[in-house]
A and B are shown apart, each in its own frame.
Chain A
Amino acid sequence: DAGVIQSPRHEVTEMGQEVTLRCKPISGHDYLFWYRQTMMRGLELLIYFNNNVPIDDSGMPEDRFSAKMPNASFSTLKIQPSEPRDSAVYFCASSLGAILPFFGQGTRLTVV
């Protein structure tokens, strides 16, 4: 398996634009997590899914953020409208039974 695949690897966008980050989890994994990493706050959980169902989205900063998992092999994290303070590295991770997550390479988002 190729591991968790995230796209794009880098994204630069202007403030106010919509940004969509994509994640393909490892086949067979039933948990999917979205994390954000900044210098100030470190790694933070945004939302996680179990069997495609959102379980906990309390980490989503505000209504500008939304995440979907339409099927077991794909998830998106959308920011609309984007703001400079959203600049961060966004990681997707998947696991089988919420143990030992496998992380994607991350998407480095810069909002100017």
Chain B
Amino acid sequence: KNEVEQSPQNLTAQEGEFITINCSYSVGISALHWLQQHPGGGIVSLFMLSSGKKKHGRLIATINIQEKHSSLHITASHPRDSAVYICAAPEGGGADGLTFGKGTHLIIQP
């Protein structure tokens, strides 16, 4: 079973700062997921990536398959980015159910 570790667990930053959240996993995978959980509890899939980098607005996700490591970056952070960001990898490495990291609780202060 894949073990997924995230860091940091909690992060407080000022508006406008560049944010980095890290994720590492133990079993080689076909793709890695980044999710966002809103303060109200809803979960949104942000990215699924298997190599290189993906960008959506101010969010950038990168992955290094050889090192089993991924990062999520937020540029020009804003208070509305405050949420829990969760990294997830397929349990068996392939296309199946996800194993989740514990999440990073991000607070962006105005």
A 92-108 contacts with B by CB, 8 A: 93, 97-103, 105-106, 108
Contacts of B90 in A (CB 8 A): 98
B 22-79 contacts with A by CB, 8 A: 31, 33, 35, 41-45, 48
Number of A-B contacts (CB under 8 A): 53
Interface string of A53-86 (1 = CB under 8 A from B): 0011001000000000000000000000000000
Contact check, B45 vs A42: say whether CB atoms are below 8 A apart. Answer: no
Whole-angstrom CA separation of A56 from B90 in the bound complex: 12
Whole-angstrom CA separation of A101 from B100 in the bound complex: 13
Q: Give the residue of A35, A48, A105 whose beta carbon is less than 8 angstroms from that of B96.
A: A48
CB of B6 to closest CB in A, whole Å: 10
Contacts of A19 in B (CB 8 A): none
CB of B106 to closest CB in A, whole Å: 16
Task: Using CB atoms, name the residue of chain A closest to B35.
Answer: A103
**How big is the B interface, by class?**
20 to 34
Contact check, B95 vs A97: say whether CB atoms are below 8 A apart. Answer: yes
A44 at the interface (CB under 8 A from B): yes
Contact check, B95 vs A99: say whether CB atoms are below 8 A apart. Answer: yes
Contact A45 to B95, CB < 8 A, known contacts A91-B43, A105-B42:
no
In the assembled complex, 28 residue pairs joining A and B whose CB atoms fall closer than 8 Å, in A order, are A33-B97, A35-B98, A42-B101, A42-B102, A43-B88, A43-B100, A45-B98, A45-B99, A47-B97, A48-B96, A55-B96, A56-B91, A56-B96, A56-B97, A93-B43, A97-B95, A98-B95, A99-B31, A99-B95, A101-B33, A102-B45, A103-B42, A103-B43, A103-B45, A105-B42, A106-B41, A106-B42, A108-B41
Residues of B participating in the A interface, judged by any CB pair closer than 8 Å: 31, 33, 35, 41-45, 48, 86, 88, 90-91, 95-103
Residues of A participating in the B interface, judged by any CB pair closer than 8 Å: 33, 35, 42-45, 47-48, 55-56, 59, 89, 91, 93, 97-103, 105-106, 108
